[in-house]
Amino acid sequence: MAKLTPRNNNNNRPCCDVLHLLPSSLIALLLLWTLWSTRTHIVSDPNNTPISNRAHGPPDQTFYDDPDLSYSIEKPLRNWDEKRKEWLRLHPSLAAGSKNRILLVTGSQPSPCKNRIGDHLLLRCFKNKVDYSRIHGYDIFYNNLYLHPKMDSYWAKLPIIRAAMMAHPDAEWIWWMDADAVFTDMEFKIPLDRYKDHNFVVHGWPNMVYEDKDNKSWTGLNVGSYLIRNCQWSMDLMQAWAKMGPNTPNYEKWGRILKSTFKDKPFPLPDDQSSFIYMLSTDRARWEKKTYLEGSRVTESITQITMGRGVGRRWKGL
Amino acid sequence: MAKLTPRNNNNNRPCCDVLHLLPSSLIALLLLWTLWSTRTHIVSDPNNTPISNRAHGPPDQTFYDDPDLSYSIEKPLRNWDEKRKEWLRLHPSLAAGSKNRILLVTGSQPSPCKNRIGDHLLLRCFKNKVDYSRIHGYDIFYNNLYLHPKMDSYWAKLPIIRAAMMAHPDAEWIWWMDADAVFTDMEFKIPLDRYKDHNFVVHGWPNMVYEDKDNKSWTGLNVGSYLIRNCQWSMDLMQAWAKMGPNTPNYEKWGRILKSTFKDKPFPLPDDQSSFIYMLSTDRARWEKKTYLEGSRVTESITQITMGRGVGRRWKGL
């Protein structure tokens, strides 16, 4: 299945322990293609035959045809529920089953990991998620681009989740998982029925998030893995959330506020987890109702192992 | 979605540039689980709901219930066509569409790559294949275990392909791709109709494989990417192929034979590519009819970039 170099070229081709050099421009092109390609959009049926393809889809215009459409996290997207609903109406084969469709999204930085075995473990962690997705019939997308030049590290999630929602109106939920989170129970089934009245599901404890006013912890919930519904509410949430991020002029000011609120927060600048707890607790009326803090410990299906400052810790959870 | 450590633990959790330490036993357990789990087998429909699960499948016995069943490449599997056919009969929801179902299989060595950026590129190459598989509705499996203790490097493919065939009787084809091969045309559709009368499809040139007796090249075809049908013929092919591998006492002898046959072969010991060309050309009556040497250069959809001895080369192909 591959055209060879002209014969008699003595290519040295051990299968695995090879050096791999890919032109970075080629890689960037491929990565961008997979994310931004909205022209073709193929979803499989059990027969593994494409059942829909936007390139040959209905001639009606959709939100994709709006010349002002922007994937940027900095440009609010309005009327998303209506736009998505109309798109689904025009794509009935994708609308079927969309209510329970999950797109698992994960990713890591564009550059090689500084730790010697970091990328090897990222590879294994990605394999773990691909295995889980295959078993449960989920699509999975791995991002390794910063879609906003200032939003790196934990803040890189929001732009990619926003883009994934827009690129996948067929998916009801985006399931974000940090690169270093792994499934330890491959048969774990996410109880979507339990979350039917909510738009954001994250492991955490209400008392730690909404109470403990004078002694709040930044570990009241864990945004290493969360479900977020593909809807206008979520777009608004991300818009508000990103206002504490490095893309805003108030980034350092927010860092001081968060550090004084969460005494155990180890970073001087805002992180997405502290910021989210702050949002929930200070604008409870706006965000609490649709946010499900999952406290169940029955199914310990995900393990997140993070090491910093030379100390390894394990987070077990649903 | 994750249970946290008790509050006030100052976990240092940057999203990306972290050190990741996973207990190797846990990783091995997870990897083995995903490969060997034949108890549960879930395939998705467009609604992303599992449509079949062996654990709750029909009560009839299948080949999986045979206590003598072995996944080992060293133990011949007989009557596979009948066993697979019977299994499909008992699983009609998986039988539907199985004629065109492809499982893409790839993988790399269990240990970290010796090259500083090797695992980073493996991660990107895996992402490329996952993106392609998502777009085209294929399942994908990444292997990073040696299923036979002696069959490493390029010889690691055969045991995993054999195991994948047995674990996926629902798939008509296994598409092997080396870890360092990437799709450059994400819209490329494999022309299965063209291969309907064949069991093995690989890029190559008949004159280089079957002729050039006194000046044969080991680059007459490229086993960096190939399609192999899930059938008894393929089981027999792999059985014969593996007889030139490091699991046999004749490994070094085969190395001398291959080195004298292929003057441009850079390795003293047998590699899978030279061995396959040797098989085809010396037992043409047995293998040629069902082997399709794909010479088309119309669609250059896969690029394999391999670097050895400090020299990078690019293989472009179908």
Answer whether residue A260 is part of any domain: no
What's the CATH code of the domain at A135? 3.90.550
pLDDT at B273 (0 to 100): 96
SS3 A166: helix
Average model confidence (pLDDT) for chain B? 80
Answer whether residue B258 is part of any domain: no
Answer whether residue B36 is part of any domain: no
Answer whether residue B18 is part of any domain: no
pTM of the model: 0.81
Answer whether residue A91 is part of any domain: yes
User: What is the distance between the alpha carbons of residues A197 and A183, in angstroms, rounded to a whole number?
Assistant: 25
Does the beta-carbon distance from A17 to B113 stay under 8 Å? yes
Residue in A13, A201, A271 closest to B306 by CB: A13
Whether the pLDDT of residue B224 is over 70: the answer is yes
- Helix, strand, coil abundance in chain B, percent, nearest 5: 35, 20, 45
Answer whether residue B253 is part of any domain: no
Count contacts between A and B (CB, < 8 Å): 412
Which regions of chain A are under pLDDT 70? 1-58, 297-318
pLDDT at A54 (0 to 100): 42
Residue B102: strand pairing partners? B173
Say whether residue B182 is in contact with chain A using an 8 A CB cutoff: yes
pLDDT at B301 (0 to 100): 65
Number of structural domains, chain B? 1
A 107-126 near B (Cβ less than 8 A): 108-109, 111-126
Does the beta-carbon distance from A20 to B137 stay under 8 Å? no
User: What is the distance between the alpha carbons of residues B10 and B293, in angstroms, rounded to a whole number?
Assistant: 59
Whether the pLDDT of residue B35 is over 60: the answer is no
What is the DSSP annotation of B220-236? SEEEEEEEEESSHHHHH
Whether the pLDDT of residue B137 is over 70: the answer is yes
Tokens for B246?
A: 């490091």
Answer whether residue B171 is part of any domain: yes
Answer whether residue A187 is part of any domain: yes
Residue in A1, A8, A135 closest to B226 by CB: A1
pLDDT at A138 (0 to 100): 97
Residue A316: strand pairing partners? A303
pLDDT at A295 (0 to 100): 84
Q: Measured between beta carbons, which residues in chain B are less than 8 angstroms from residue A30?
A: 128, 131, 182-184, 186
User: What is the domain extent for residue A161?
Assistant: 80-212+220-231+290-316
Say whether residue A149 is in contact with chain B using an 8 A CB cutoff: no
